[in-house]
Structure 1
């Protein structure tokens, strides 16, 4: 039934491969627990079995966020079983979600991002750089410029088709979670960086049949997100930024935070990030506190009293 559930999530809801893999891990782990500790198959579990699973995760030291993710996967699974007529009830319905404190996202300052962008540009144009490293430096700059200009998820970024760069429009069409498309504006600086990357990319004869904007060295698949993350950490180290603070997701956070700091509307940021729910975007409201305080102080008629 786990396989049937995953097939439904893929075919009907367009779940990404990473999402399906995460669901599979969570459900198969739950299946092993209910068989060994409760003596029953997962599909036949009672509410007490699900609660026992979460208690076991807590004792094992799993964070509340991991427990909540496991419970979310189970809720989806049992709703599927109910819809298919395999179960008459949903045992997760009365199980309370673990309480979790929402951590503030790690972000970089505007100055730090500026240092990254300048260093990437300098390295991409460095005449003394080894011939074999030129394409990597130019590619890293293009990826960094696009990521900070658009706030794309790293999987969206590395899997961009080369066709997006052929358009003269000032935006890219990005396919996000669940196959949903959205428009993201692209700065001229990012377009210039992508143009430089394309000139080197297209020198390789294999590029003629390669559909990705950022191909791997083999040109048979897109660059792995882990490769970009590694290159980004290395660039950050050369700028004096600790590797623990550097990742593609941190740049996505920086994109959203800097927009809000400079006056962007939360709903606009939600649309640009591709968040289905505004509550997901509200994690960034902490960066608005200083701006809101200044707005009230400067504009409220009673603020000067």
Structure 2
């Protein structure tokens, strides 16, 4: 097998920097992506019809292996779309074997409080970098934005008279996302400090802050807060947003809208966090439980 194509190398570099992927993980992604390219040609330009042939080529593999390979390709195609290297998404043509879905990583309320306490302490200095970090953190956890949605926010997305952000999510779908009072206050502190000529809410070097830099900044903040940096990422904070809202009694359909999920099945993975509350509810409110207490 020859060397991987340039888009695969760029994708692996993103995984290493943004998600802190280990060497073994990167090697596994490389094997899966290079193996797919050997079967269908360069993935960055492979038509959907070619991608659909992978299901037959993988027919003899275990469902878990097929699921892993499909996941690697879906993430890769998502990366290509985000980077403007593909206009279409051929990933629906990939096989979807039935496997147990992994639960998202979550942070405890105490860990969130520790992270915010450190961010607020650093932002008290008034330095633009620290004030920006607090605003980023508030929007990640307070509004559940994806990393790409957050860093690419234009200034025009921040309204002057309504507590909502206009966010463009996957597939170019726009949605309204509430801004908490805390996030609004953090943004009010940040706006006077940003580059006034930039169209981006979080400008950096003539463009906007990158996802990779956002990931690095969160790791640095976690280290300063005495938390394990391996547990912190934009994805984890988005998961914490969803998890803690459900714990507080949020409706699943509302959460679907806030997260920008096209399919509620994607949102339902967060229902695992409410298991303890549901068990307690059954034990306390079920008619048999009432009878047992009376006896």
Compute the TM-score of the two structures, normalised by the length of structure 1: 0.70
1:66 to 65, 69, 88: 69
Give 1:64 shift: 2.5
Structure 2 residues not aligned, in runs of 5+: 1-31, 78-91
Asked if structure 2 preserves the Cα contact closer than 8 Å seen for 1:33 and 1:53, the reply is no
Instruction: State yes or no: 1:155 paired with 2:143.
Output: no
Equivalenced residue count is: 243
Aligned residue in 1 for 2:97: 98
Within 5 Å, which residues of 2 pair with 1:48-127?
50-53=55-58, 64-68=67-71, 70=73, 97-126=96-125
Asked if structure 1 preserves the Cα contact closer than 8 Å seen for 2:246 and 2:252, the reply is yes
Larger radius of gyration: 1
| Residue 48 to residue 169, structure 1, CA distance change in 2 (3 Å) | closer
Counterpart CA distance in 2 for 1:276 and 1:139 is 30
SS at match of 2:166: strand
Give 1:213 shift: 0.3
Asked if structure 1 preserves the Cα contact closer than 8 Å seen for 2:153 and 2:200, the reply is yes
Structure 1 residues not aligned, in runs of 5+: 1-25, 36-40, 75-91, 128-133
Q: Deviations over 1:90-137 (max 9, x none)?
A: xx98x963343211100101111111111101101137xxxxxx2111
Instruction: State yes or no: 1:231 paired with 2:217.
Output: yes
| Residue 49 to residue 284, structure 1, CA distance change in 2 (3 Å) | closer
Instruction: State yes or no: 1:196 paired with 2:184.
Output: no
| Residue 223 to residue 63, structure 1, CA distance change in 2 (3 Å) | farther
Instruction: State yes or no: 1:168 paired with 2:167.
Output: no
Within 5 Å, which residues of 2 pair with 1:1-305?
30-34=36-40, 50-53=55-58, 64-68=67-71, 70=73, 97-126=96-125, 134-201=127-194, 204=195, 207-208=196-197, 210-216=198-204, 218=205, 220-304=206-290, 305=292
Compute the TM-score of the two structures, normalised by the length of structure 2: 0.72
Counterpart CA distance in 2 for 1:155 and 1:289 is 31
